[in-house]
Amino acid sequence: MAIELYMPQLGLTMTEGTVTRWLKRTGETVKQGEPVVEIETDKVTTEIEAPADGVLGPILVAEGKTAPIGGVLSYVLAVSESMPEAPQAGLVAATPPAPPAPSAEQPPAPSETQERIVATPRARRKAHELGVDLSQVPASGPGGRIVEADVRWFADQKAGREKELPRISPVARRLAAELGVDLSTVQGTGEGGRIRREDVERAAAARAAVAAAVPPPPPSPAAAPAGGVEALSGVRRIVAERMARSFTTTPHFYLTAEVDASALTRMRDGLLPRIEAATGIRLTITDILVKVCAHALREHPEINVAYAEVSGGPGVVRQAEANVGVAVALEGGLVVPVIRQADRLSLAEIAARRAALVERARAGKLSLSDLEGGTFTLTNLGMFGVDQFQAIINAPQAAILAVGRVRERPVAVSGAVVIRPTLYLTLSLDHRLVDGAQGARFLERLAQLIEEPYLLLD
């Protein structure tokens, strides 16, 4: 019996995944649990293990190609099973071929001939109703059967792709052609994001203003300097997309405060040797700040929220837990593993988790659960000598805290200039969900907890 190797769903936001590397070749023996193929999603890179002992069948999705959830990548065949025909170049295409024949007596039919599509009556009925071609639908049912949910999913995907194409009024299209405006750069303001004539006119005016101020950019990628444009891949590409989306769709505002870090550093210096002796892990300022953020979030649930669309309009998700994501810089990009319910953890526990997450992140071994569920993000560039910066919100969260380095700075205390260790906190907030005063109160509480950390004990 051929067992499917399919693109698994690894998270709520995932719709497809990319095959980054095949670790086994067609015909190679695989053991149950042995990694067979490496895949990458918008959040994580992971390996798919062989579901059973056997031989790897034809590779249906080549390296670098993407497949939808449930899409068959290959098969694991029983050792005694006859090999399906060797995969031809044409076979490694968008349309998946029929599953290999289950027994030696029945050699697989060539893929050009009528394939028997195994689908439930309900799935067939739904496919008929929605006008879906069943041969295009990935199967998720037992034994590779297409069930209704597959058809619905497929239809939704199709509809989603169609919906993503911007709708443009005929007048706007003609005007854009006349004015030489790239419609993909135009934000539609009409119903459902429809691009109207006014949008094109506004884009043309903005372009004219920019052109007046700065030298013109290279006219097009085709005329790029030698070496050409390199497509972003993997985590870098995802970071690029997500940052752009957050920065362009989330109305940010920023609040900054300088905080006395004397008590914070004393606390860290006092606890570090004890925690290191007990766990072997060195406590960091970040660890304490994670605790501080989580504590403050519990007290300020209005900050611990996420933006969501609800029936086409803006909505808010109120989070039950205070889960603090910590931005970790990697060579290929940026990941934000999450320390869940940090308000309930001791500093030693936070340090241990942070250390484990960072280690996994650097090794590229983060699991999806390491990355999911964050309700707030902390980013600390103090170790890089940064005094102060503004971070882009990790959408759909409502806030991110950017922390600079602790440095001795002159401050005025009771009319006298004294030298104190201080640090700058900069809070970025989503103005759709949070207003200035709310953000200010939250920032004030953060400052208070840092300056008087014994308040964490109340």
Partner 1 sequence: MPEMREITIVEALREALAEEMSRDPTVFLMGEDIGRANGVFNVTAGLQDEFGKERVIDTPISEAGFTGIGIGAALTGMRPVVEILFCDFMTLAMDQIVNQAAKLHYMTGGQAKVPLVIRTLMGAGRGAAAQHSQSLHAWVAHIPGLKVVMPSTPYDAKGLLKSAIRDDNPVIFFEDKMSYQVKGLVPVGEYTIPLGVADMKRVGSDVTFVATSSMVQVALAAAEVLEQEGISAEVVDPRTLKPLDKATILESVKKTGRAVVVDEGHLSYGVTAEIAAIIADEAFDYLDAPVKRLGAMDVPVPMAPVLEQATVPNVEQLVATTRGLFGRRY
Comparing CB distances to partner 1, the nearer of 1 and 272 is 1
Comparing CB distances to partner 1, the nearer of 141 and 234 is 141
What is the closest distance, in whole angstroms, from the C-beta atom of residue 140 to partner 1 in the complex? 4
Q: How far is Cα 272 from Cα 268, in angstroms, rounded to an integer? A: 6
CA angle 406, 375, 66 (to 5 degrees): 110
Comparing CB distances to partner 1, the nearer of 123 and 350 is 123
3-state secondary structure of 371: helix
What is the closest distance, in whole angstroms, from the C-beta atom of residue 62 to partner 1 in the complex? 23
Comparing CB distances to partner 1, the nearer of 47 and 148 is 148
Q: How far is Cα 150 from Cα 144, in angstroms, rounded to an integer? A: 11
The alpha carbon torsion through 30, 32, 38, 42 (nearest 10 deg) reads 160
Comparing CB distances to partner 1, the nearer of 100 and 138 is 138
- CB environment 93-122: b (16+ within 10 A), e (fewer): eeebbbbbbeeeeeebeebeeebebebbee
Give residues in contact with partner 1 (CB under 8 A): 6, 8-9, 69-70, 120-125, 139-142, 145, 147-149, 153
Is 128 among the residues known to form the active site? no
Q: Which residues contact 351 (CB under 8 A, 6 or more apart)?
A: 275, 279, 281, 282, 283, 284, 287
3-state secondary structure of 37: strand
Comparing CB distances to partner 1, the nearer of 118 and 239 is 118
From the CB of residue 317, how many other CB atoms can be counted at a distance below 10 Å? 16
Active-site choice (128, 295, 300, 431):
431
What is the closest distance, in whole angstroms, from the C-beta atom of residue 130 to partner 1 in the complex? 14
- CB environment 8-30: b (16+ within 10 A), e (fewer): ebbeeebbebbbbebebebeeeb
Q: What are the backbone angles phi and psi of residue 71, rounded to the nearest 5°?
A: -65, 135
Comparing CB distances to partner 1, the nearer of 123 and 339 is 123
Contact (CB, 8 A) for 268 and 328: no
* Structure tokens that stand for 287 in this block: 């660890």
What is the closest distance, in whole angstroms, from the C-beta atom of residue 157 to partner 1 in the complex? 11
Q: Which residues contact 194 (CB under 8 A, 6 or more apart)?
A: 166, 167, 168, 169, 188
Q: How far is Cα 58 from Cα 72, in angstroms, rounded to an integer? A: 11
Q: How far is Cα 387 from Cα 219, in angstroms, rounded to an integer? A: 37
Active site members: 431
